[in-house]
Amino acid sequence: MTTLLTPKLFSVHLLFFLMFSLSAQESRAGKTLEAIKQKDQISCGVNTGLAGFGSADSQGKWTGLDVDICRAIASAVLGSADKVRFVPLSAPQRFTALQSGEIDILSRNTTFSLTRDASLGLNQTAVTFYDGQGFMVPVKSNIKSAKQLKGASVCVQSGTTTEKNLNDFSRANKLDLKPIVFEKLEAANAAYFAGRCKAYTTDASGLASIRSKEAKNPKEHVILTELISKEPLGPLVRRGDDEWFAIAKWVIYGLLEAEELGIDSKNLETLKNQSSDPAVLRLLGKTDDMGKLLGLDREWIARAVTQVGNYAEIFDRNVGEKTPLALKRGLNALWSQGGLQYPMPIR
């Protein structure tokens, strides 16, 4: 016997369904944020030592673009950029550390790809650095193009997209390249500078970092201009916690939108009190409370920019033209200035 639902009965069933759905969503949401607030600290997975992106000095102080992204998130969530525990991870270790809950976020020059997005149980947040894989060779080799490396040995780190890209490039161009693979970055660096490999390949930004920090004379090594891949880099979080995913993503967009609106750590308070631009006042929490939608307060981005800086300040301080890496904004300029950085609108 089939029971027909009257319009009134259907409405009751629909109401209970919606209430159950909302309740289920609420019970799943916020586990990571709740744990972070309880320990009053964010655990951030970073590189074991890549100058400009994630490295510690002799006193254990961490600096770098990836480091500052975690510091900005800590500012927004916990009120202080100092409430971060940095966990140095090798390439093979990084995903397991995030999957297991050892860290809350992985901010470690990691490429976004379909395979990683679909198979690791992780969410890719927002691109913090657009890069591409390149090659570094000794100047004395007189090599001007990667296609001149036929049959050459190439130092490369395992557990990275770099290794696969190298093999694809070698096959596509019939170069018969001979990868010499190392699990740890430090071992790959040492092998290249000891002359065990004719070339070194990784992200171009990484090559600039390695050259500036590890080479006895950086001028003796050249990074070839051609790139063989797209490497959009950014933080990852675990799947299953949409609230934490949204927070990480929107803090990054907030840093970019602050730059776009001309807000930086030096002029923020002045703009907050004197600007009449609705977008500026909204971002700084002077009018709309956008933080409430994320489970944060209205000062979330204002605090992050004050303590850490907008995206331009973070870029310039860590990898910009006045640093040893001397990187130009290039693809990492705002979309309005010819680059790819395009923050989703905060409204």
- At 36-73, the pLDDT tens digits run 999 999 999 999 999 999 999 999 999 999 999 999 99
Taking the C-alpha atoms of residue 303 and residue 73, their distance in angstroms, rounded to an integer, is 10
Instruction: Concatenate the DSSP letters of all residues of 128-186 into one string.
Output: SEEE-EEEEEEGGG---SGGG-TT-EEEEESSSHHHHHHHHHHHHTT---EEEEESSHH
Q: Which segment of 14-18, 28-32, 48-52 scores lowest on mean pLDDT?
A: 14-18
Give residue-wise pLDDT tens across range 106-146: 999 999 999 999 999 999 999 999 999 999 999 999 999 99
Q: What is the mean pLDDT of the chain?
A: 92
Reported confidence tier of residue 17, pLDDT bands at 50, 70, 90: very low
**Is a pLDDT exceeding 70 seen at residue 19?**
no
CB atoms within 10 A of CB 82: 11
Give residue-wise pLDDT tens across range 128-137: 999 999 999 9
Reported confidence tier of residue 321, pLDDT bands at 50, 70, 90: very high
What pLDDT does 30 receive? Answer: 75
**Is a pLDDT exceeding 60 seen at residue 219?**
yes
- Strand pairing category for 105-106 and 55-56: unpaired
At position 159, the amino acid (one-letter code) is G
| Alpha-carbon distances, residue 177 vs 163, 196, 327 (angstroms) | 11, 14, 28
What pLDDT does 6 receive? Answer: 54
Taking the C-alpha atoms of residue 12 and residue 35, their distance in angstroms, rounded to an integer, is 36
**Is a pLDDT exceeding 50 seen at residue 12?**
no
Give residue-wise pLDDT tens across range 168-217: 999 999 999 999 999 999 999 999 999 999 999 999 999 999 999 999 99
Contact 179, 188 (CB under 8 A): no
What pLDDT does 22 receive? Answer: 41
What pLDDT does 29 receive? Answer: 44
Walk me through the domains of the chain, giving residue ranges and CATH numbers.
32-130+233-261+311-332 (3.40.190.10), 133-229 (3.40.190.10)
3-state SS, 48-84, equals: CCECCCEEECCCCCEECHHHHHHHHHHHHHHCCCCCE
Instruction: Give the up-direction half-sphere exposure of residue 191: CA atoms within 13 A in the CB hemisphere.
Output: 21
- Strand pairing category for 231-233 and 221-223: unpaired
Reported confidence tier of residue 159, pLDDT bands at 50, 70, 90: confident
Give residue-wise pLDDT tens across range 181-192: 999 999 999 999
Please tell me whether residue 237 adopts helix, strand or coil conformation.
Answer: strand
- Judge residue 141's burial from the number of C-beta atoms within 10 Å of its C-beta, 0-12 exposed, 13-18 middle, 19 or more buried: middle
Taking the C-alpha atoms of residue 314 and residue 72, their distance in angstroms, rounded to an integer, is 10
**Is a pLDDT exceeding 70 seen at residue 23?**
no
